[in-house]
């Protein structure tokens, strides 16, 4: 009988969620086996109807459902139109649905918030916040009392909030083991006007946000706009003692910021991904080109625990600030390389040697 149950459990694990929801209605045995698989993740969209259904679930769900939930997901449902029906009702009901999650779902460990993929904020005037920013801040305030192991924030709008600097938000981040932040900003930063006070303030707050997450073992930070000189993200100067996996996208390595941050985790970091993280230089002067940075990271005093490395040639670029245009990345054409006054061949050789060293270490430990 036990073998039959184990076989049935294996079969159920291969089914998609809609199929599991149907199967669990067949009989008590299948309900017992399928419910934890079908309902380990539940979600809310930014509509009044969806929020009210979720509130009803919280208030009347059976114990087998309540005990099954491990992840709660919020997904924005807007399609890019600026007119949203029932804005005021949504701003009340959706945060209400997202509140008191721990008291309802005692096994909850993960929260994923997927905000709008469209940036509508006016960063150059004191106009009222849009519905999307109000909703984002209201949801974050509603979930701040939740205690989790994993937090994902997709399309976090790059506008400041007093919440980000609060003790409550620091306490919210403190127990996290996995933190995944993908930010959404205006597309004028890389080309065109590239600095505005709200954006600078937001990224200054993000430095404190990251510092609060001292328990993380996995950290992913993805910026849609290129960070470097304007605006600037100051990476924490205190190491995360458990950090084993790091993924950075869209950060300029101004001076030695990223290099220093990586070296803080030389004894723990095992997996590293750098994507679109060019080195920043004033007046196109690069005292430490990529080859020099890599030699340090690949030395005996560098990342000696690293067994997985994802860094491509595009990542190993260079950028600078054009005073009339913004943060500019260079291309890899011969004349651009000459203007940079760095040897790209040295960079590529250093990267290949680093990859080989990491692969040898991985093979040895496997």
Over 50: is that where the pLDDT of 192 sits?
Answer: no
CA distance 172 to 168: 6
Best CA proximity match to 45, nearest among 86, 10, 9: 86
Query: Phi and psi at residue 231, in whole multiples of 5°?
Result: -75, 170
pLDDT at 147: 95
CA distance 189 to 328: 10
Over 90: is that where the pLDDT of 77 sits?
Answer: no
CA distance 160 to 164: 7
Least confident segment among 60-74, 106-120, 167-181, 220-234: 220-234
Spatial contact of 221 and 249, defined as CB atoms under 8 Å apart: yes
Spatial contact of 329 and 278, defined as CB atoms under 8 Å apart: yes
**Confidence (pTM):** 0.86
20-39 per-residue burial string, b: 16 or more CB within 10 A, e: under 16: beebbeeeeebeebbbbbbb
Strands 178-184 and 218-227: parallel
pLDDT-derived band at 200 (thresholds 50, 70, 90) equals: confident
pLDDT at 320: 73
CA distance 160 to 46: 22
Over 50: is that where the pLDDT of 193 sits?
Answer: no
CA distance 60 to 70: 18
Residue 42, beta-bridge partner list: 72
Over 70: is that where the pLDDT of 257 sits?
Answer: yes
**Mean pLDDT taken over the chain:** 82
pLDDT-derived band at 114 (thresholds 50, 70, 90) equals: very high
Q: What percent of the chain has pLDDT over 90?
A: 43
pLDDT-derived band at 167 (thresholds 50, 70, 90) equals: very high
More confident residue, 327 or 355: 355
CA distance 246 to 144: 24
Over 90: is that where the pLDDT of 96 sits?
Answer: yes
Over 50: is that where the pLDDT of 276 sits?
Answer: yes
Question: Which of 11-15, 31-35, 60-64, 146-150 is most confident?
Answer: 146-150
Which run of H or E residues covers position 171?
helix 167-173
Spatial contact of 303 and 361, defined as CB atoms under 8 Å apart: no
Best CA proximity match to 110, nearest among 74, 142, 72, 68: 72
CA distance 250 to 255: 15
pLDDT-derived band at 288 (thresholds 50, 70, 90) equals: confident
- Cα 33–chain centre separation: 33
pLDDT digits (tens, 9 = 90+) for 7-20: 665 655 555 566 55
More confident residue, 275 or 126: 275
Best CA proximity match to 270, nearest among 304, 220, 300: 304
Over 80: is that where the pLDDT of 5 sits?
Answer: no
CA distance 312 to 138: 39
Q: What percent of the chain has pLDDT over 70?
A: 75
Over 80: is that where the pLDDT of 106 sits?
Answer: yes
pLDDT at 365: 84
CA distance 136 to 184: 12
């Amino acid at each position: 009988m036990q073998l039959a149950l184990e076989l049935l459990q294996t079969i159920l694990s291969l089914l998609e969620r809609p199929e599991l929801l149907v199967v669990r209605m067949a009989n008590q045995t299948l309900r017992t086996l399928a419910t934890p698989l079908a309902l380990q993740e539940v979600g809310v969209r930014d509509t009044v109807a969806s929020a009210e259904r979720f509130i009803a679930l919280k208030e009347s769900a059976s114990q087998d459902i309540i005990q099954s939930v491990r992840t709660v997901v919020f997904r924005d449902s807007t399609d890019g139109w600026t007119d949203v029906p029932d804005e005021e009702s949504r701003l009340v009901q959706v945060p209400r649905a997202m509140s008191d999650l721990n008291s309802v779902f005692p096994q909850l460990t993960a929260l994923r918030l997927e905000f709008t993929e469209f940036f509508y904020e006016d960063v150059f005037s004191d106009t009222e916040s849009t519905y999307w920013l109000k909703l984002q801040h209201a949801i974050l305030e509603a979930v701040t009392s939740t205690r989790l192991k994993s937090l994902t924030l997709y399309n976090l709008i790059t506008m400041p909030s007093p919440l980000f600097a609060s003790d409550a938000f620091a306490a919210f981040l403190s127990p996290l083991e996995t933190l995944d932040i993908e930010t959404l900003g205006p597309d004028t930063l890389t080309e065109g006007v590239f600095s505005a006070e709200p954006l600078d303030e937001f990224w200054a707050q993000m430095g404190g946000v990251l510092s609060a997450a001292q328990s993380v073992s996995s950290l992913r930070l993805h910026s849609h706009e290129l960070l470097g000189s304007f605006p600037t993200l100051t990476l924490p100067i205190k190491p995360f003692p458990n950090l084993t996996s790091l993924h950075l996208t869209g950060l300029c390595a101004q001076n030695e910021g990223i290099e220093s941050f990586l070296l803080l985790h030389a004894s723990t970091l095992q997996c590293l991904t750098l994507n679109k993280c060019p080195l920043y230089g004033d007046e196109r002067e690069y005292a430490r080109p990529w080859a020099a940075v890599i030699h340090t990271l690949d030395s005996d005093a560098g990342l000696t625990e690293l067994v997985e490395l994802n860094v491509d040639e595009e990542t190993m670029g260079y950028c600078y600030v054009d005073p009339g245009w913004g943060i500019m990345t260079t291309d890899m054409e011969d004349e651009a390389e000459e203007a940079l006054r760095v040897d790209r061949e040295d960079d590529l050789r250093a990267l290949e040697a680093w990859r080989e060293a990491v692969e040898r270490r991985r093979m040895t430990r496997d």
